[in-house]
């Protein structure tokens, strides 16, 4: 049981409950140092939820912001109100506003059932840039997403890796591991791939690693202009994760994938769908809406060339 101390007023009563539950889950005290605002600080957002009394900036005593931010997704069911939508931001040392802190915002009528995790200002390059990641609030128990640091779970990264990337050592190691594993999967599935010498997982984003990213983007994702970079929540990361964790064969990888769509069950169909879902021109976060099986099948027909409709527009039609 912990105590939440408000140095500034926060009007939103749901946030009071969320912060109290957070304090209880961690067994630590929370200090809220900013809440309702009626002006925009220099460098601050003009659409900030602070301006409508729906945000709190805080720290949890005895815990680094980073620890809280990373572990929070294991406590979503206990902490957040499932009928509501939230943003949870980790502002780094390069943030434009009041220095490093955690920010919790409660959307008025948006993103219900989700927490949008965002990081900003961890490096000079990411100042003012948010990389949102939607995480659903599960009904009970632990969050569906496994701990990224544990083997066997969905491996993920906190910042960009590769050409012009942030290249945190831990993130680079994750990508090197994913690339090696993806290559093994591709080999096992007999998918044509030029291949690369297995990468040492040394956490250094050198030419060998960047080259492997570029090759994967070019040959497996069929990107016209590979950028040798993997962004958190971007298409390259998603494709790598799907390739490795689920063993899905991306739809862009030659004829094998087209065959896999027909009649062999929903697993393959789903893999193909998800690839196409992220298959736009931009490496943007994708809205993971639930899509019925008919739409999945429809997309498969398109991939196999039986339909000519643009798969992206079908995706749009399938999303509520």
Q: Which residues bind Zn ion (CB under 5 A)?
A: 57, 103
Closer residue to Zn ion (CB): 76 or 89 = 89
Closer residue to Zn ion (CB): 31 or 154 = 31
Phi, psi torsion values for 284, nearest 5 degrees: -95, 160
Q: Whole-number minimum distance, CB 95 to Zn ion, in Å?
A: 9
> Cβ-closest residue to Zn ion?
103
Q: Whole-number minimum distance, CB 274 to Zn ion, in Å?
A: 33
Among 137, 277, 312, 168, smallest CA distance to 232 is for 168
* Contacts of residue 152, Cβ cutoff 8 Å, sequence gap at least 6: 146
Helix (H, G, I), strand (E, B) or coil at 214: helix
Closer residue to Zn ion (CB): 103 or 106 = 103
Q: In what order do the strands lie in the sheet with 114-120?
A: 4-6, 30-34, 55-60, 101-106, 86-91, 114-120, 133-136
Closer residue to Zn ion (CB): 55 or 314 = 55
Judge contact between 199 and 248, C-beta under 8 A. Answer: no
* Contacts of residue 312, Cβ cutoff 8 Å, sequence gap at least 6: 276, 279, 280
Task: For residues 40 and 96, give the distance between their C-alpha atoms in angstroms, rounded to a whole number.
Answer: 12
Q: Whole-number minimum distance, CB 92 to Zn ion, in Å?
A: 13
Closer residue to Zn ion (CB): 94 or 218 = 94
Q: DSSP labels for 8-23?
A: S----HHHHHHHHHHH
Closer residue to Zn ion (CB): 121 or 278 = 121
Q: Whole-number minimum distance, CB 200 to Zn ion, in Å?
A: 41
Q: Whole-number minimum distance, CB 41 to Zn ion, in Å?
A: 10
Q: Whole-number minimum distance, CB 135 to Zn ion, in Å?
A: 19
Task: For residues 145 and 74, give the distance between their C-alpha atoms in angstroms, rounded to a whole number.
Answer: 8
Q: Whole-number minimum distance, CB 131 to Zn ion, in Å?
A: 17
Closer residue to Zn ion (CB): 103 or 238 = 103
| Tokens 């965002």 belong to residue | 118
Task: For residues 66 and 171, give the distance between their C-alpha atoms in angstroms, rounded to a whole number.
Answer: 15
């Amino acid at each position: 049981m912990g105590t939440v101390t408000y140095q500034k007023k926060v009007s939103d009563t749901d946030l009071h409950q969320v912060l109290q539950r957070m304090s209880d889950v961690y067994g630590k005290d929370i200090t809220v140092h900013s809440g309702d605002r009626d002006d925009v600080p220099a460098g601050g957002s003009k659409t900030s939820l602070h301006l409508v009394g729906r945000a709190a900036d805080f720290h949890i005593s005895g815990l680094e912001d980073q620890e809280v931010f990373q572990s929070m997704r294991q406590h979503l069911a206990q902490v957040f109100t499932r009928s509501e939508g939230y943003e949870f931001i980790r502002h780094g040392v390069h943030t434009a506003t009041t220095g490093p802190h955690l920010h919790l915002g409660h959307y008025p009528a948006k993103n219900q059932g989700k927490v949008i995790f965002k990081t900003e200002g961890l490096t000079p390059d990411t100042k003012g840039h948010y990389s949102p990641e939607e995480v659903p609030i599960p009904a009970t128990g632990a969050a569906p997403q496994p701990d990224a640091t544990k083997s066997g779970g969905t491996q993920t990264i906190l910042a960009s890796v590769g050409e012009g990337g942030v290249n945190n050592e831990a993130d680079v190691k994750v990508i090197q591991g994913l690339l090696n594993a993806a290559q093994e999967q591709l080999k096992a599935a007999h998918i044509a791939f030029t291949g690369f010498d297995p990468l040492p997982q040394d956490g250094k984003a050198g030419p060998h690693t960047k080259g492997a990213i570029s090759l994967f983007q070019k040959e497996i994702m069929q990107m016209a202009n590979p950028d040798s970079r993997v962004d958190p929540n971007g298409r390259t990361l998603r494709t790598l994760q799907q390739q490795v964790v689920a063993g899905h064969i991306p739809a862009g990888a030659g004829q094998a994938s087209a065959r896999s769509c027909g009649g062999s069950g929903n697993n393959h169909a789903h893999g193909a769908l998800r690839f196409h879902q992220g298959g736009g021109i931009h490496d943007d976060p994708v809205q993971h809406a639930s899509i019925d099986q008919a739409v999945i099948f429809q997309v498969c027909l398109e991939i196999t060339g039986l339909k000519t409709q643009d798969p992206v527009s079908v995706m749009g039609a399938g999303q509520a």
